[in-house]
């Protein structure tokens, strides 16, 4: 656990009260991930030492545990309780809860947003009032956003080098795709042709091609820490063209839910694959992970982060959807 995470956890423990056992990092062991079904039973469905190299379809056990709820036309949400095999702190503070969203780009326009004035930090509470979905986008350094950025059809920043990176690309017609590092050079040419409206690069890739798990997520010694646990935020594309968002939160009361502990990278690949994604990548997690979902009545649910970020991603109803409601 990094010094920054230790300080954040310590501050949260002071605010929320100390748990029965100390929060400390431990290596992930080859014990299964389990999901709780609506009838209250737990089902094991994934194990690190037997992880599949590809997810050709959603996992029936996980799909049966998810109860999707339509909150607006083209937007569904759900929560899924997961028992993890990892850090002692998770067991002490509570199980993991996955906050899920599925959004249809045919009904919603996705675009990048930044703080105001330009250069100011951004948080989900800054999302426009008509945003149905808002989340932090990409990774960043002390100098600003990391990697490829396209906004309003203009390339603001060139792609960064990252063999495990991917980019979320929004076409002019609103279709959304994820392109992995090997595809970025070719995909980038679409900016000059006026084919790309928005793009943001992030890492690591969780799923590529048609549900393939990258090799570094399957075996040690390939440049990725497969045992590190953190709060996570992932975005993926489903085979029907919809966009999937997954946020991890400790299943604990109040501010304790924001303790930056969560799933490993391979576990997040499994979660997105089991939910039916063909491609997926992580966005900045840890203290940055945050999400807002707003229903058709304008009521919003928020899962705030502990720090602001340079860039966010929002989804707003398309003009045709707004006109249809009048």
Q: What is the extent of the structural domain holding 278?
A: 59-324
Q: Does residue 125 fall inside a structural domain? A: yes
Query: In total, how many domains does the chain have?
Result: 1
* Integer angstrom CA distances of residue 287 from 45, 90, 135, 220, 278: 28, 16, 13, 26, 27
Q: Does residue 207 fall inside a structural domain? A: yes
Q: Does residue 39 fall inside a structural domain? A: no
Cα-only R_g, the chain: 19
Residue 288 three-state SS: helix
- pLDDT per residue, tens digit, the chain (326 aa), is 444 444 344 333 333 433 333 334 444 456 789 999 999 999 999 999 999 999 999 999 999 999 999 999 999 999 999 988 755 445 555 578 999 999 999 999 999 999 888 778 999 999 999 999 999 999 999 889 999 999 999 999 999 999 999 999 999 999 999 999 999 999 999 999 999 999 999 999 999 999 999 999 999 988 899 989 899 999 999 999 999 999 999 876 666 666 777 899 999 999 999 999 999 999 999 999 999 999 999 999 999 999 999 999 999 999 765 555 55
User: Across the strands, what pairs with 70?
Assistant: 76
Q: Does residue 26 fall inside a structural domain? A: no
Q: Does residue 52 fall inside a structural domain? A: no
Burial (CB count within 10 angstroms: exposed 0-12, middle 13-18, buried 19+), residue 297: exposed
Global pTM?
A: 0.88
Q: Does residue 25 fall inside a structural domain? A: no
Q: Does residue 236 fall inside a structural domain? A: yes
The confidence score (pLDDT) of residue 27 equals 46
CB 266, CB 217: distance < 8 Å = yes
Q: Does residue 221 fall inside a structural domain? A: yes
CB 136, CB 196: distance < 8 Å = no
Separation between Cα atoms, residue 127 and residue 145, nearest integer Å: 18
Q: Which two tokens stand for residue 238?
A: 């489903």
CB 65, CB 100: distance < 8 Å = no
């Amino acid at each position: 656990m990094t010094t920054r995470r230790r300080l954040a956890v310590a501050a949260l423990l002071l605010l929320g009260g100390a748990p029965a056992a100390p929060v400390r990092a431990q290596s992930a062991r080859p014990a299964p991930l389990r999901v709780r079904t609506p009838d209250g039973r737990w089902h094991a469905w994934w194990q690190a030492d037997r992880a599949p190299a590809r997810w050709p379809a959603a996992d029936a056990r996980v799909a049966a545990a998810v109860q999707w709820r339509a909150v607006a036309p083209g937007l569904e949400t759900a929560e899924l309780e997961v028992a993890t095999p990892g850090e002692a702190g998770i067991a002490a503070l509570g199980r993991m809860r996955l906050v899920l969203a599925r959004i249809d780009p045919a009904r919603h326009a996705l675009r990048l947003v930044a703080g105001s004035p330009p250069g100011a930090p951004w948080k989900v509470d800054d999302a426009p009032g008509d945003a149905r979905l808002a989340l932090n986008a990409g990774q960043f350094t002390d100098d600003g956003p990391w990697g490829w950025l396209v906004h309003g059809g203009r390339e603001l920043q060139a792609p960064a080098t990252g063999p495990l990176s991917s980019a979320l690309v929004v076409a002019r017609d609103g279709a959304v795709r994820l392109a992995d590092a090997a595809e970025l050079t070719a995909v980038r040419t679409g900016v000059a042709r006026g084919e790309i409206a928005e793009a943001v690069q992030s890492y690591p890739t969780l799923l590529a091609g048609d549900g393939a798990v990258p090799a570094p997520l399957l075996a040690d010694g390939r440049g990725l820490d497969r045992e590190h646990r953190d709060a996570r935020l992932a975005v993926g594309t489903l085979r029907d063209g919809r966009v999937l968002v997954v946020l991890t939160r400790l299943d604990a009361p109040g501010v304790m839910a924001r303790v930056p502990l969560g799933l490993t990278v391979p576990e997040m690949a499994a979660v997105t694959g089991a939910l039916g994604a063909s491609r997926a990548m992580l966005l900045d997690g840890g203290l940055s992970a945050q999400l807002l979902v707003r229903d058709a009545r304008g009521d919003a649910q928020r899962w705030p982060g502990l720090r602001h970020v340079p860039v966010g991603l929002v989804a707003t109803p398309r003009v045709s959807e707004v006109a249809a409601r009048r």
